[in-house]
Protein backbone atom coordinates (compact mmCIF):
# COMPACT_ATOMS: atom_id res chain seq x y z
CA UNK A 1 0.00 0.00 0.00
CA UNK A 2 1.44 3.45 -0.89
CA UNK A 3 2.03 5.98 1.90
CA UNK A 4 -0.85 8.27 2.86
CA UNK A 5 0.17 11.88 2.16
CA UNK A 6 -3.01 13.41 3.56
CA UNK A 7 -0.92 15.77 5.73
CA UNK A 8 1.31 17.05 2.92
CA UNK A 9 3.37 20.22 3.55
CA UNK A 10 1.96 21.06 6.96
CA UNK A 11 3.64 23.66 9.18
CA UNK A 12 4.02 21.05 11.95
CA UNK A 13 3.89 17.25 11.70
CA UNK A 14 0.50 15.59 12.19
CA UNK A 15 0.12 11.98 13.18
CA UNK A 16 -1.43 10.10 10.23
CA UNK A 17 -3.01 7.63 12.69
CA UNK A 18 -4.99 10.05 14.88
CA UNK A 19 -4.41 13.56 13.42
CA UNK A 20 -2.64 14.96 16.49
CA UNK A 21 -0.28 17.89 15.79
CA UNK A 22 3.19 17.10 17.13
CA UNK A 23 4.83 20.32 18.33
CA UNK A 24 8.25 18.58 18.57
CA UNK A 25 9.66 21.23 20.88
CA UNK A 26 12.94 19.39 21.47
CA UNK A 27 13.47 17.78 18.08
CA UNK A 28 12.47 20.62 15.74
CA UNK A 29 15.87 22.24 15.32
CA UNK A 30 17.63 18.87 14.96
CA UNK A 31 15.44 17.92 12.00
CA UNK A 32 16.60 20.88 9.92
CA UNK A 33 20.28 20.21 10.57
CA UNK A 34 20.77 16.45 10.81
CA UNK A 35 18.21 14.60 8.70
CA UNK A 36 15.53 15.01 6.07
CA UNK A 37 13.51 11.91 7.09
CA UNK A 38 12.71 11.14 10.74
CA UNK A 39 10.57 8.59 12.57
CA UNK A 40 8.47 10.03 15.39
CA UNK A 41 6.17 8.57 18.01
CA UNK A 42 2.84 10.35 18.36
CA UNK A 43 2.51 12.02 21.79
CA UNK A 44 -1.18 11.02 21.93
CA UNK A 45 -1.66 7.56 20.36
CA UNK A 46 2.04 6.59 20.71
CA UNK A 47 2.13 5.04 17.20
CA UNK A 48 5.19 5.57 15.04
CA UNK A 49 5.09 7.58 11.81
CA UNK A 50 7.59 9.11 9.38
CA UNK A 51 8.17 12.83 8.81
CA UNK A 52 9.99 14.24 5.80
CA UNK A 53 11.37 17.74 6.33
CA UNK A 54 11.47 20.19 3.41
CA UNK A 55 13.26 23.51 3.77
CA UNK A 56 12.88 26.40 1.34
CA UNK A 57 15.91 28.70 1.51
CA UNK A 58 15.48 32.47 1.67
CA UNK A 59 18.36 34.84 1.12
CA UNK A 60 19.19 38.28 2.48
CA UNK A 61 21.83 40.46 0.81
CA UNK A 62 23.33 43.67 2.08
CA UNK A 63 26.49 45.78 1.88
CA UNK A 64 28.84 45.42 4.84
CA UNK A 65 29.48 48.42 7.08
CA UNK A 66 33.15 48.45 6.03
CA UNK A 67 32.17 48.68 2.35
CA UNK A 68 29.68 51.44 3.13
CA UNK A 69 32.34 53.47 4.94
CA UNK A 70 34.89 52.93 2.15
CA UNK A 71 32.25 53.55 -0.55
CA UNK A 72 33.50 50.40 -2.34
CA UNK A 73 30.18 49.45 -3.82
CA UNK A 74 29.90 52.28 -6.34
CA UNK A 75 27.61 55.30 -6.56
CA UNK A 76 24.31 55.30 -4.76
CA UNK A 77 21.20 55.53 -6.92
CA UNK A 78 20.42 58.99 -5.55
CA UNK A 79 23.96 60.18 -6.42
CA UNK A 80 23.81 58.81 -9.98
CA UNK A 81 20.68 60.77 -10.93
65 φ/ψ angles, rounded to the nearest 5 degrees: -65, -35
Per the structure, the complete domain to which residue 5 belongs is given by: 1-81
pTM for the whole structure: 0.55
Question: 26 exposed, middle or buried (CB, 10 Å; 0-12, 13-18, 19+)?
Answer: exposed
Q: What are the tens digits of pLDDT across the range 22-63?
A: 876 655 555 555 557 888 889 899 999 988 877 777 889 888
Task: Return the minimum-mean-pLDDT range out of 16-20, 46-50, 65-69.
Answer: 65-69
- The structural domain count of the chain equals 1
Q: Let me know: does 14 contact 7? Beta carbons within 8 Å.
A: yes
Amino acid sequence: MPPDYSYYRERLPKCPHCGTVDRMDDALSDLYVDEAIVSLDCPKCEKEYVVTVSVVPKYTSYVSEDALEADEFGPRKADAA
